Amino acid sequence: MNASRWASLEAGKDPDTTAEELTETANRLLHRQFITRGDLGGAAHFGRVQRHRDYFQELFASLGFRLVFNDGWGYAGFVSPQAYGNARVPTQETIVLLCLRLLYSEGAQKGYFIDGTADILVDEEEVQTVYSSFGSRRLKPGELREILTQFRRRGLVSFDQSHSLNVDVDISLRPTLLEVVDESFLARIEAWREASSSSKSEAVDADGEHKLIAIEADADIDATDTRPN
Domain ranges of the chain: 5-79, 91-222
For 55-83, b where at least 16 C-beta lie within 10 A, e where not — what string?
A: bbbebbeeeebebbebeeebbbbbbbeeb
pLDDT value, residue 82: 64
**Cα–Cα distance, 141 to 125 (Å, whole number):** 10
Residue 183 gets which letter from DSSP? G
| Global model pTM greater than 0.85 | no
pLDDT value of residue 226: 43
E strand or H helix that includes residue 76: strand 75-79
Q: What is the pLDDT of residue 137?
A: 82
Alpha carbon 23 to chain centroid distance?
23
pLDDT confidence of residue 60 = 96
Strand partners for 121: 172
> Residue 184 has what pLDDT?
66
Alpha helix segments (H runs only) across the chain: 5-11, 19-32, 42-51, 53-61, 91-109, 124-133, 141-153, 177-180, 186-198, 213-222
Residues of the chain whose pLDDT is less than 70?
Answer: 1, 82-90, 184-193, 195-229
Per-residue pLDDT of 39-88, as tens digits, reads 989 999 999 999 999 999 999 999 999 999 999 999 999 998 765 444 44
Per-residue pLDDT at 86: 40
The pLDDT assigned to 200 comes to 52
pLDDT at 136: 72
